[in-house]
């Protein structure tokens, strides 16, 4: 039987084999310090973001109870099943920019009586408010996730925010709790996280940091903790490198907040006007995307240093509640819907970002990728009854073994991935030990051309077996479509060999690998 060339290539990638004529693989050295445990990895680093934007909510999560698409109370069953596999810890909603024009009372009560509005930020489409507070919290319950609700500061009022929290979380004989009961929910919900506004430096009001700090203090005063529910309050933080914003917020409102947000998007070109194609790119743009992704490490270091000045005990968490790749919209789509495909490049970006968050777990307490479905760097793409899981989805599924595990420090010396005069580390790594004692090591190879041998020393760990999975593909541009939904998916990995305290890993080019040591 003749084996297709593409199958031979993929087999070589997955096994870490050198192709004929290739130079010897570069090597990295890694020490896994299981004798020096680090902090517990907050599961909320693997959080999601679902905004009323494009088809993230309508068509992505919500189809309505009358839909022929199988659903539970209007929420897609296939989406529920896929997200449960990710162990999604927390979902941020309703925005984003949409949050500061959203008035929650428009989204409660009989759906046929809810007033419509125009979504002025995202495509100018009619928002019928069919998916509101009850539907969102039902969705969180169905997938086993905590709720992270963003209140309207830009166009809302303190009273509106105060009443929304009462409506959701109070069990008192009070106007808002009784309104909730009248709308069919007797018991209050548990709502753990609340954001006070979104991007108040921009679409949330174009405020100065000192002004927003005062607004946060005012809103925070009236957003109450009701019996049985304690809120984790997140202040609206910086856009990328705006360190002055972080300084002003920590100086003027730091003692009132539990978390401070940070937003950072990876742009392949670095140009907001021309961000580049999600699927039509060369190695230059592959490299630039990964280089700009790794810039987030500098942001985390510098924002954390400012926070340390005012909060040396690290009580306030850094919450990266918008991150991911942002490309030009899919040709032919509504540009306001921010629809884009998701390739092997995005899988590498996801792995790098999750490693950064995990390696800063002493300060970073939550992260929310933008966005969950059909928008930007999505987990899932839908089209009517069809669904496809993206390469990014698979990275989140592979990495969920790190959730709530204890970080294991790694000491890594990586060769460089060089393109022209620029270079980045070729290998990224992170490790953890779960409650059952299993150690998981995740690795990313940013080099799209060369496999890399990783020589790993196990310190404080006696392992008898190593197993793993790998996510890779023959091309940088490989992606899943409705016609070919399994082009990029995890495979069993046999490129790791254990010899006493030494572990040798043949890490394929452009790959994400997760190993289990027992």
Domains of the chain: 5-38+408-517 (2.60.40.1180), 48-404 (3.20.20.80)
Residue 387's φ and ψ, nearest 5 degrees, are: -145, 145
Query: Is 13 a residue whose pLDDT tops 80?
Result: no
* β pairing state of 364-370 and 47-49: parallel
DSSP code of residue 174: S
Q: Give percent of the chain above pLDDT 90.
A: 94
Residue 24 confidence (pLDDT): 59
Q: Among candidates 253, 259, 226, which has minimal Cα distance to 92?
A: 259
Instruction: Label residue 22 by pLDDT band (50, 70, 90).
Output: very low
Cα 353–Cα 448–Cα 328 angle in degrees, nearest 5? 60
Q: Contact 25/451 with Cβ under 8 angstroms?
A: yes
Query: Is 475 a residue whose pLDDT tops 70?
Result: yes
Residue 404 confidence (pLDDT): 96
Q: Contact 337/122 with Cβ under 8 angstroms?
A: yes
Mean pLDDT of 416-422: 97
Instruction: Label residue 2 by pLDDT band (50, 70, 90).
Output: very low
The answer to which of 19-28, 97-106, 461-470 has the lowest mean pLDDT is: 19-28
Q: Hey, how many other C-beta atoms are within 10 angstroms of the C-beta on 449? A: 11
Mean pLDDT of 385-401: 98
- Which residues, 6+ apart, have CB-to-CB distance to 366 below 8 Å? 42, 44, 45, 47, 90, 148, 193, 234, 259, 317, 319, 320, 321
The answer to which of 17-21, 121-125, 128-132 has the lowest mean pLDDT is: 17-21
280: left (phi over 0), alpha (psi -120 to 50) or beta: beta
**Per-residue pLDDT tens for 230-265?**
999 999 999 999 999 999 999 999 999 999 999 999
Q: Output the average pLDDT for the chain.
A: 94
The answer to which of 13-17, 160-164, 264-268, 364-368 has the lowest mean pLDDT is: 13-17
DSSP code of residue 154: S
Mean pLDDT of 437-450: 97
Residue 18 confidence (pLDDT): 41
Q: Contact 196/233 with Cβ under 8 angstroms?
A: yes
Characterize 343-356 residue by residue with b for buried, 16 or more Cβ atoms within 10 angstroms of its Cβ, and e for exposed: bbbbbbbbbbbbbb
Query: Is 15 a residue whose pLDDT tops 90?
Result: no
What CA–CA distance (Å, rounded) separates 269 from 249?
31
Angle between helix 391-399 and 344-359 (nearest 10): 30
* DSSP letters spanning 283-336: HHHHHHHHHHHHTHHHHHHHHHHHHHHH-TT--SEEEEEEEEE--PPPTTS-GG
Mean pLDDT of 66-86: 98
Is residue 241 flagged as an active site residue?
Answer: no
Residue 263 confidence (pLDDT): 98
Paired tokens of 278: 């999600």
Instruction: Label residue 109 by pLDDT band (50, 70, 90).
Output: very high
**Per-residue pLDDT tens for 285-298?**
999 999 999 999 99
Q: Among candidates 345, 322, 290, which has minimal Cα distance to 47?
A: 322
What CA–CA distance (Å, rounded) separates 185 from 176?
12
Mean pLDDT of 67-90: 98
Q: Contact 98/121 with Cβ under 8 angstroms?
A: yes
Paired tokens of 391: 């390469």
Tell me the residue ranges of DSSP E strands in 43-153. 47-49, 71-72, 75-76, 90-93, 117-119, 125-127, 146-151
Terminal-residue alpha carbon distance, the chain: 38
Residue 355 Cα distances to 27, 109, 453, angstroms: 20, 43, 19
Residue 26 confidence (pLDDT): 82
Q: Contact 262/303 with Cβ under 8 angstroms?
A: yes
Q: Which residue has the tokens 């957003």?
A: 223
What CA–CA distance (Å, rounded) separates 320 from 98?
18
Mean pLDDT of 201-213: 97
* β pairing state of 125-127 and 232-239: unpaired
Mean pLDDT of 49-66: 98
Residue 11 confidence (pLDDT): 41
Q: Is 65 helix (H, G, I), strand (E, B) or coil?
A: coil
- Which residues, 6+ apart, have CB-to-CB distance to 290 below 8 Å? 345, 348, 349, 352, 424, 446
Query: Is 110 a residue whose pLDDT tops 80?
Result: yes
Q: Give percent of the chain above pLDDT 70.
A: 95
Tell me which of 342 and 6 has the higher pLDDT.
Answer: 342
**Per-residue pLDDT tens for 309-318?**
999 999 999 9
Instruction: Label residue 37 by pLDDT band (50, 70, 90).
Output: confident
Instruction: Label residue 5 by pLDDT band (50, 70, 90).
Output: very low
**Per-residue pLDDT tens for 424-434?**
999 999 999 99
The answer to which of 17-31, 54-68, 324-338 has the lowest mean pLDDT is: 17-31
Q: Hey, how many other C-beta atoms are within 10 angstroms of the C-beta on 296? A: 21
Query: Is 100 a residue whose pLDDT tops 60?
Result: yes
Q: Which residue has the tokens 């990224």?
A: 428
Characterize 82-92 residue by residue with b for buried, 16 or more Cβ atoms within 10 angstroms of its Cβ, and e for exposed: bbeebbbbbbb
What pTM was computed for the model? 0.93
Residue 21 confidence (pLDDT): 43
* β pairing state of 452-459 and 439-445: unpaired
Catalytic residue, candidates 199, 247, 283, 397: 199
Mean pLDDT of 146-162: 98
Mean pLDDT of 347-364: 96
Catalytic residue, candidates 101, 135, 322, 397: 322
Is residue 322 flagged as an active site residue?
Answer: yes
């Amino acid at each position: 039987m003749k084996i297709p060339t593409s199958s031979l290539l993929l087999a070589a990638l997955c096994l870490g084999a050198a192709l004929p004529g290739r130079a010897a693989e570069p090597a990295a050295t890694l020490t896994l310090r299981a004798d020096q445990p680090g902090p517990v990895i907050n599961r909320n680093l693997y959080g999601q973001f679902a905004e009323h934007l494009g088809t993230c909510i309508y068509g992505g999560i919500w189809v309505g109870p009358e839909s022929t698409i199988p659903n539970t109370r209007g929420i897609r069953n296939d989406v529920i099943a896929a997200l449960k596999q990710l162990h999604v810890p927390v979902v941020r909603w309703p925005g984003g920019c949409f949050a500061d024009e959203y008035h929650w009372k428009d989204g409660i009560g009989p759906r046929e009586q809810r007033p419509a509005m125009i979504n002025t930020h995202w495509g100018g489409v009619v928002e019928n408010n069919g998916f509101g507070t009850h539907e969102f919290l039902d969705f969180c319950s169905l997938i086993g996730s905590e709720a992270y609700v963003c209140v309207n500061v830009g166009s809302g009022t303190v009273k509106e925010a105060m009443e929304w929290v009462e409506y959701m979380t109070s069990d008192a004989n009070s106007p808002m709790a009784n309104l909730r009961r009248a709308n069919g929910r007797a018991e209050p919900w548990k709502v753990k996280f609340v954001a006070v506004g979104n991007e108040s430096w921009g679409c949330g009001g174009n405020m100065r940091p000192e002004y927003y700090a005062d607004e946060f203090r005012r809103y925070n005063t009236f957003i109450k903790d009701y019996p049985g529910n304690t809120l984790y309050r997140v202040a609206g933080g910086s856009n990328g490198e705006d360190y002055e914003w972080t300084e002003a917020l920590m100086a003027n409102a730091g003692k009132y907040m539990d978390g401070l947000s940070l937003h950072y998007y990876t742009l392949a070109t670095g140009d907001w006007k021309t961000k580049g194609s999600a699927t039509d790119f060369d190695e230059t743009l592959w490299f630039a995307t990964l280089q700009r992704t790794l810039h987030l490490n500098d942001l985390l270091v510098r924002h954390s240093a400012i926070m340390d000045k005012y909060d040396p005990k690290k009580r306030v968490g850094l919450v990266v509640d918008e991150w991911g790749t942002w490309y030009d919209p899919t040709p032919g789509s509504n540009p306001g819907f921010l629809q884009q495909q998701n390739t092997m490049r995005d899988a590498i970006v996801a792995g790098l970002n999750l490693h950064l968050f995990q390696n800063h777990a002493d300060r970073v307490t939550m992260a929310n990728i933008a966005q969950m479905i059909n928008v930007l760097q999505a987990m899932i793409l839908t089209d009517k009854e069809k669904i496809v899981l993206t390469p990014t989805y698979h990275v989140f599924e592979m990495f969920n073994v790190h959730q709530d595990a204890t970080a294991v420090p790694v000491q890594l010396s990586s060769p460089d991935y060089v393109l022209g005069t620029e270079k980045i580390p070729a290998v990224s790594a992170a490790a953890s030990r779960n409650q059952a004692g299993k150690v998981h090591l995740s690795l990313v190879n940013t080099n799209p051309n060369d496999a890399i041998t990783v020589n790993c020393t196990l310190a404080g760990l006696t392992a008898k077996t190593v197993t793993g999975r790998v996510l890779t593909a023959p091309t940088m541009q490989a992606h899943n479509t409705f016609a070919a939904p399994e082009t990029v998916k995890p495979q069993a990995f046999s490129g790791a060999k254990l010899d006493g305290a030494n572990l040798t890993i043949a890490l394929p080019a452009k790959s994400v690998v997760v190993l289990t040591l027992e």
